[in-house]
Amino acid sequence: MLLFMNHTPNLRRFQACLDGPHKNLFCYTIILLQLKYLTLNLHDEWSFEQVQQLLNICPHLKHLILKLEAQNDKKIMFEPSTWQKLIEEKLSHLKSLRLQLNCIVTDSNENIHNYQKS
């Protein structure tokens, strides 16, 4: 995806489903100044830092739809103050955010619980 975005710097809208973070995510220096609308479905082992790095490439983003699956050890994904700080510092042009977090939690008996928050 990042290779594609590197060759389309005037992209205004983008929608993607990503199974996992790119191993060289922090090596890319792509900045998409024209990207205003972004929809992402992120699966697997995305950390908050990786999501933040991915969103850093579109500083003028106005509309974001983010669907994210998180494991039970990714509690920071659910902290509103973490998202507020990201928006205030890196996404100051953001007008609308639709965030759907799907958390898969296992208890001590190895029972799986699935929680969703929109």
> Which pLDDT belongs to residue 70?
67
Kindly state whether residue 1 falls inside one of the protein's structural domains.
no
Whole-number average pLDDT of the chain: 81
> Which pLDDT belongs to residue 99?
87
CA dist., res. 42 & res. 69, Å (int): 6
Kindly state whether residue 87 falls inside one of the protein's structural domains.
yes
Tell me the residue range of the domain where 95 lies. 39-118
Kindly state whether residue 31 falls inside one of the protein's structural domains.
no
Q: With cut-offs at 50, 70 and 90, classify the pLDDT of residue 71.
A: low
Q: With cut-offs at 50, 70 and 90, classify the pLDDT of residue 98.
A: very high
The total of structural domains in the chain comes to 1
Kindly state whether residue 34 falls inside one of the protein's structural domains.
no
Q: With cut-offs at 50, 70 and 90, classify the pLDDT of residue 6.
A: confident
| Contact present, 71 and 87 (Cβ < 8 Å) | no
